[in-house]
Amino acid sequence: MPSNTIRFLNSFAGGLLLAVAAALFFSSRVGADIVLPRDPIFAISIGHLFSILSGICLGVALFTLSGKPTFTRAMVIAWLATNLAAYCLGCLWNGGHSLGGYLGSFSDAFGVSAATAGIMAEAALAYLVLASYFMLIGLWLQNRRVASGDYLKISCPSCGGHVTFASQNLGQRIPCPHCKAVIMLRKPDLLKMTCCFCKEHIEFPAHALGQKISCPHCKMDITLKESA
């Protein structure tokens, strides 16, 4: 799955969770004086349930939007979406016909019918479930490609930050993810140095500068650096 698609899914999921958190919080305040059905799973008022869910959704949304997509962020979204889906199935198992029956305060707050509120909630939940698991699969595949060598790594000539990219993107120009300077994705330059112990030549990629390794010839520990 392309990185741009994963970033879109991550950003949209975070924005959707922010909207859900705001809607649930507003609904819990507006519906405070309305007699609503009690939650059939935890046996608490719908208003209290909405307040709790609002806080959880807000926390997950801020975590999701705080950086680039990672396997951990996708896992957190998948955890929340899976638990919400399990809760909805539990409501249906306990006699509920749709989520709309438990969204009376949401209907009153935003002026929509219970059926429409139920459809909106189910659509949002479906997106969160599908997007989170698609992200998990996409990020897992990316990690496998990196491990198998399908990804290359170069150093940004402007800031020195490491940039990892798929080999099929060679030749493209992109903004550096660290300093935003435009760079060309190219094969890593190989640097050369002479081992200070055995005087044999060693070649290594530029991004490995400063790393400590065992010399492939004499096995002594050396630090990779450019030749003077």
143 in the same domain as 155: no
Q: In terms of domains, do 70 and 8 share one?
A: yes
Instruction: Choose among 99, 98, 106, 96: nearest CA to 30.
Output: 106
**Structural domain for 139, as ranges:** 3-148
User: Tens digits of per-residue pLDDT, 101-139?
Assistant: 556 556 666 666 767 777 888 888 899 999 999 999 988
User: pLDDT tens digits for 82-106?
Assistant: 998 888 888 777 765 555 555 655 6
Residue 9 lies in a domain: yes
Q: Looking at the structure, do residues 45 and 64 belong to the same domain, yes or no?
A: yes
Give me the pLDDT at residue 12, please.
Answer: 93
**Any domain includes 204:** yes
- For 34-77, the DSSP string reads S--PBPTTT--BHHHHHHHHHHHHHHHHHHHHTSS--HHHHHHH
- If asked whether residues 97 and 134 sit together in one domain, one would say yes
Domain total in the chain: 3
Looking at the structure, tell me whether residues 87 and 44 fall in a common domain.
yes
Q: Are residues 80 and 166 in the same domain?
A: no
Residue 60 belongs to some domain of the structure: yes
Q: What are residue 191's DSSP bridge partners?
A: 204
What's the predicted TM-score (pTM) here?
0.59
